[in-house]
Amino acid sequence: MNEQIQYNIAIHNKIAKKYTKRHPEIYNDIEQQRLFDSLSDAVNLINTESDIKIFLDYGCGAGNLTNHLLSFHQKVVSADISESFLKLVKDTFRNENLSTLLLNGIDLNNVESESFDMVATFSVLHHIPDYLLALKDICRAIKKGGILYIDHEASPEVWNPKPEYLEYKEKVTPSFNPIILLNLFNPFWYVRKLKKIKNPRWQAEGDIHVWNDDHIEWNKIEKLLSELNFTILSVKDTLCYYKHYPLEIYNNFKDKCSDIRTLIAMKNP
């Protein structure tokens, strides 16, 4: 198995129960409302003939998307490479419409073609070594008239920031972070530092495609979708809100710059 996949499995098994606390940029009221509204738009665009829809939450993690998808009262399959995440999702939601699927981090080789009315993925592609290969197989598993939903991947502006975005980051970044002092007494902080010295691209949670010269390339995704007979229905760039950021500053900049992208596409009937 690919070392990057192995590491992603190991680290997410380890942090599964702590995941929501580690990600204030996801688990806050503003981001959750944006996500629900965006998913609602995607669900309303589904044009399959199924009476009961089947949604795949690809890379479900702690159940961020699953939570919202279950609210539409359809069948939901939560899928992840981490067995700890799958257990957490089952224990958290205990819903008769929910089932789980263990992923291999490469493709959907255990899934039949045209199985799902919608496949949704949130902050996942940048963890996959060959995300275009994975995306190609995801598209295979979507029914004609079904929807592909990609959310919370870096927008192009992250790699070519506008002055407004740089100003925003400066304003929300404290001049002094007290966590730095606490880290001095944390032995794991030194372990992480040593890992960074050994491999400057090491990331604690296994992020892979998060660098200026290696990141999610939207033009390649759009080209692939066109080749696979998908029509892109929506591309929206937004500014992610971290719950410890001053809300007044965020509101002042949210319409001026962005750092995440959401894409919705349909497999042509």
CA-angle at 73, arms to 18 and 48, nearest 5°: 115
Rounded Cα–Cα distance for residues 141 and 117 (Å): 9
CATH number (domain holding residue 146): 3.40.50.150
Instruction: Name the pLDDT band for 184 (thresholds 50, 70, 90).
Output: confident
pLDDT of 237 over the 80 cut: yes
The number of distinct structural domains making up the chain is 1
Of the listed ranges 13-27, 153-167, 177-191, the one predicted with least confidence: 177-191
pLDDT of 1 over the 80 cut: no
Residue 174 pLDDT: 80
Instruction: Name the pLDDT band for 35 (thresholds 50, 70, 90).
Output: very high
Place of tokens 């296994």: 206
Average pLDDT value for the chain: 96
> What CA–CA distances, in Å, run from 1 to 8, 9, 198, 266?
11, 11, 22, 32
Range of the domain at 80: 3-267
Residue 179 pLDDT: 66
pLDDT per residue as tens digits for the range 62-80: 999 999 999 999 999 999 9
Mean pLDDT of 219-234: 99
Burial of residue 164, with CB atoms counted within 10 A of its CB: 0-12 exposed, 13-18 middle, 19 or more buried: middle
Residue from 230, 238, 228 nearest 262 by CA: 238
Q: Largest alpha-carbon pair distance within the chain? A: 59
Rounded Cα–Cα distance for residues 12 and 89 (Å): 13
Mean pLDDT of 133-154: 99
